[in-house]
Chain A
Amino acid sequence: MGCLDPHPGELPVTRPAASAAMGPLLVAEGLTCRYGRVTALDGVDIALRPGEVTALLGDNGAGKSTLISLLSGVRQPSGGTIAMAGEPCRFDSPADARAVGIATVFQTLALVEDRSIAENLFLGAEPVRFGFLLDRRRMQREASAVFERLGVVLPPVGTAVRHLSGGQRQAIAVARTVLGGARVVILDEPTAALGVRETARVLDLIGRLKASGAAVLLVSHNMDNVFQVADRAVVLRLGRKVADLALAQTSRTQLVASIVGGEEGA
């Protein structure tokens, strides 16, 4: 493991909102990943800044999944470097990435249906007393606090996840990254299976995550969502980065063109 979290245990949401003008938090350069003879990712650079939402776009097979699996430690790159806050990192597992503050919310969400919201929120990072007793009171307290800060309204934290909607589940998975002290949050298609109202709630949540100073990488197919919450868009095509656009100066037509390969974006 290359670098250590300089703010162990500190929650990004407690910090004043960082501005996008700050230097990048996570910088990946020349990331390459080969599966046998196939090059899934070829020399991709990406920088994520605190308080900024970066959309990751691209057609199926463009390399989006490969890129997030490298950043989250699920896979190891064949070439290139990753640095957190200037320190070079090497992730052998998702736990390594989490330890330096990079958390990924996968589409499966990793929730246990029959267990409570609180237990899911702290899954794998349960607060304990004497090393083995669950500190349920602390779980309850911290769960309520994090939901309040993220502006999420959920049933009582003792409710089983089975009873919750898709958007509520997404909120738990996102809150889990925040509780874990993540400064970079990667969201994989968070609105893919959601209805209109639920989608709006999740986008609102992403906005709050951004306001709290987290660097957010949003993988999405949905242009409306991207233009609504993202500041920047990185476009991949056939494993290469073909565009890195500031969305304020980009039209929808331009963005779509760069995805399907009409004209090369900025």
Chain B
Amino acid sequence: MSIQALFRREVAIAVVAAALYIGFALNAPHFLDAQTQFEILRVTGFTLLVALPLTMLVIAGEVDLSIGSNLGLASVVTAVAIVDWGWNPWAAALLAVAIGGGVGLANGWVVVRLGVPSFILTIGMLSLLRGLALVVTMGLSIDIPGEIESTFFAFAGGSVGPVPAQVLWALASFAVTGFVLRQTLFGAWLYATGGNLRAATQMGLRPGTVKIAVFVALGLCCGLVGALTTGWLRLGAPNTGTGGELSTIAAVIIGGAALSGGVGTATGTLIGALIVSMLQIGLVLMGVQGNWVQVCVGVLIVAAAGAEPLLRADGRLAQWVQGLSDKRATA
């Protein structure tokens, strides 16, 4: 009953997103300026590039809190390879992506093969990877001098017409994620893995391999975003992505994915990411102090989590809809 599912989640949060948009349009100065609109899209795009693979991981019943640190390490590695080692920026970016993927593989392997809970392991990795990023640069940011020229910088920070490049990659990532989740065998296995691990095992699926594959995909995306951030800002800062796990996980949870696994959609996460970036930018435009913005994002996560039992598939709302369709079936 996919229509019913749509009614419950995506539409409900789309209404929230629309209400926020209208609220900010009326109250936040310059919110409707083209520049602001594109900035919202750019922030949403960056969030989505990590939030979409994270959605897949959450569907599989795992979580990764080390995404911000993984991204930070990738950003620093890119800058070090370009500036200190004189690498071609494209090669440096490739190295960063590979390291990100390696971190994902390590996370997945330890979680699946050694049975360490992903929450605990990735809290450790959050600290470990951030520490490495600081060690590599001795805590300093690395500027990429203007005389180093490469098509990579245009690729990372450019725009197509008025549309920031990040937005286009995010759209591509959204299309791929949605397709994988809805149309492919891998998607079906992903939902089964997170929805009922024991059943998945009994029916001959390979839930462990599925989980590791998603950890790797997420790691690769963290590496990519880290490299792109460095290319865009021409700066490798060891604190890049700090706190990024908050807005990314917020987008995923607000989007309706359940940390208990088996539930979540790409569309939900897209709307969730829009809500988070609208809040971050809109509140600042309204003159709200930065610390309060964080409070607001927190409130929204709590509200989304609180709405979950109410909106669950066997919640009252769903039962009412089921009752209607049963009546229609017997009529």
A residues contacting B by CB (< 8 A) are 94-95, 98, 106, 108-116, 119, 123-126, 128, 132-134, 155-156, 158-160, 162-163
Contacts and interface: CB of A to CB of B under 8 A. Distances in A.
Given A114-B313, A134-B187, A162-B313, 13 more contacts: A94-B204, A95-B204, A110-B199, A112-B191, A112-B200, A113-B196, A115-B192, A119-B191, A123-B188, A123-B203, A133-B185, A155-B326, A160-B313
A163 B313 contact: yes
Contacts of B191: 112, 114-115, 119
A119 B188 contact: yes
Interface centre among A98, A108, A110, A124 (most CB of B within 10 A): A124
B205 A123 contact: yes
Nearest to B312: A162
A182 to B, nearest CB: 13
A124 B183 contact: no
Interface class of chain B by DSSP: helix
A103 B117 CA distance: 33
A85 B200 CA distance: 30
10 contacts: A98-B204, A109-B199, A112-B191, A112-B262, A114-B191, A114-B263, A115-B188, A115-B195, A126-B188, A159-B1
Nearest to B329: A155
A108 B313 contact: no
Contacts of B322: 163
B291 interface: no
Contacts, number: 85
Contacts of A112: 191-192, 195-196, 199-200, 262
A134 B183 contact: yes
Nearest to A110: B199
A158 B205 contact: no
Contacts of A124: 200, 203-205
Given A114-B313, A132-B184, A158 B1 contact: yes
The 4 closest A-B pairs by CB, nearest first: A124-B203, A110-B199, A112-B195, A124-B204
Contact of B262 (A109, A114, A125, A134): A114
A125 B314 CA distance: 27
A136 to B, nearest CB: 8
Nearest to A74: B202
Interface centre among A95, A110, A112, A162 (most CB of B within 10 A): A112
Interface of B: 1-2, 5, 183-188, 191-192, 195-196, 198-200, 202-205, 262-263, 313-314, 318, 322, 325-326, 329
A162 B314 contact: yes
A139 to B, nearest CB: 10
A110 B196 contact: yes
Given A113-B262, A162-B313, A163-B314, A108 B183 contact: no
Nearest to B262: A114
A123 B192 contact: yes
A163 B205 CA distance: 24
A110 B198 contact: yes
Given A110-B196, A112-B192, A123-B192, A133 B184 contact: yes
B195 A113 contact: yes
A150 B183 CA distance: 28
A123 B313 contact: no
Contacts of A109: 199
Nearest to B180: A132
Contacts of A160: 1, 5, 313
B183 A111 contact: no
A155 B321 CA distance: 13
Nearest to B199: A110
A115 B313 CA distance: 11
B185 A134 contact: yes
Contacts of B200: 112, 123-124
Contacts of B188: 115, 119, 123, 126, 134
